[in-house]
């Protein structure tokens, strides 16, 4: 079965065409560029579509492939070996839920599932597959943009350097250290378990995190495939 898998995040839509146990093609578009996404999807021939959406763009995305209904996932109390420990299971972001399911088999002893997109999420999974909760903080670009919007700082893209000799590098380095420091502190408090990084800024943060970490690309998409199998799509 050929499956179109969609991760509609706050800034971008990540997607992939999955068939015969692997990815035929993967891609991504900014939320502001639906025409580009429509052009990419016009060439695809899925038998079913599954996705997670936190951007509120479900109706717009549905119109890009009207031939098939989209299955937009909602977190459950239990699915694919993961127990949802959120106070209200359905209030958990569907992308976080899919990422936890994608990470379950990769963390047999439990650990941390870190999403690095518009926001950074650090979620705790126990050895028996229970999602214990987590944190949400502004991601790298959002943290830098918020500082720029709230001050008169003049900054460029910035590079990591400590101590930093200019404002752009100081802001970029500070944001990197704040995010990596949060991950490290949580990891230390848990006895330094395995930590999975995913998302657009994973490769940027990876060198700055002194913990047992590895990058898994498109973890949300991988989790969505498992959910599709569980739903018999």
Task: For the beta carbon of residue 58, count every other beta carbon within 10 angstroms.
Answer: 14
Q: Which of 7, 35, 87, 95 is catalytic?
A: 95
- 216 — alpha (psi -120 to 50), left (phi > 0) or beta? beta
H-only helix segments in 58-166: 58-64, 94-104, 140-150
> How far apart, in whole angstroms, are the C-alpha atoms of residue 125 and residue 136?
15
Question: Across the chain, how many H-helices and E-strands are there?
Answer: 7, 12
| Known active-site residue 95 | yes
Local structure of 150: helix, strand or coil: helix
- Spatial neighbors of 148 by CB under 8 A, at least 6 apart, are 155, 171
Are the C-beta atoms of 112 and 195 separated by less than 8 Å? yes
| Active-site amino acid positions | 95
């Amino acid at each position: 079965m050929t499956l179109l898998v969609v991760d509609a995040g706050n800034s971008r839509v990540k997607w992939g065409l999955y068939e015969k146990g692997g990815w035929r093609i993967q891609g991504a578009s900014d939320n502001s560029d639906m025409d580009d996404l429509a052009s990419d999807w016009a060439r695809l021939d899925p038998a079913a579509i599954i996705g997670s959406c936190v951007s509120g763009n479900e109706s717009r995305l549905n119109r890009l492939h009207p031939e098939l209904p989209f299955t937009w996932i909602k977190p459950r109390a239990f699915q694919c070996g993961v127990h949802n420990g959120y106070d209200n299971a359905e209030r958990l972001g569907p992308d976080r839920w899919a990422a936890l399911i994608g990470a379950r088999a990769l963390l047999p002893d439990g650990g941390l599932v870190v999403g690095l997109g518009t926001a950074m999420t650090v979620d705790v999974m126990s050895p028996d597959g229970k999602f214990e909760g987590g944190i949400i903080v502004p991601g790298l670009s959002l943290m830098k943009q918020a500082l720029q919007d709230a001050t008169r700082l003049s900054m460029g893209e910035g590079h990591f350097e400590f101590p930093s000799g200019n404002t752009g590098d100081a802001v970029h380095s500070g944001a990197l250290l704040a995010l990596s420091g949060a991950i490290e502190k949580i990891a230390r408090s848990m006895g330094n378990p395995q930590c999975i990084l995913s998302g657009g800024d994973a490769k940027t943060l990876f060198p700055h995190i002194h913990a047992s970490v590895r990058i898994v690309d498109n973890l949300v998409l991988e989790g969505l495939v498992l959910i599709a199998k569980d739903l018999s799509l």
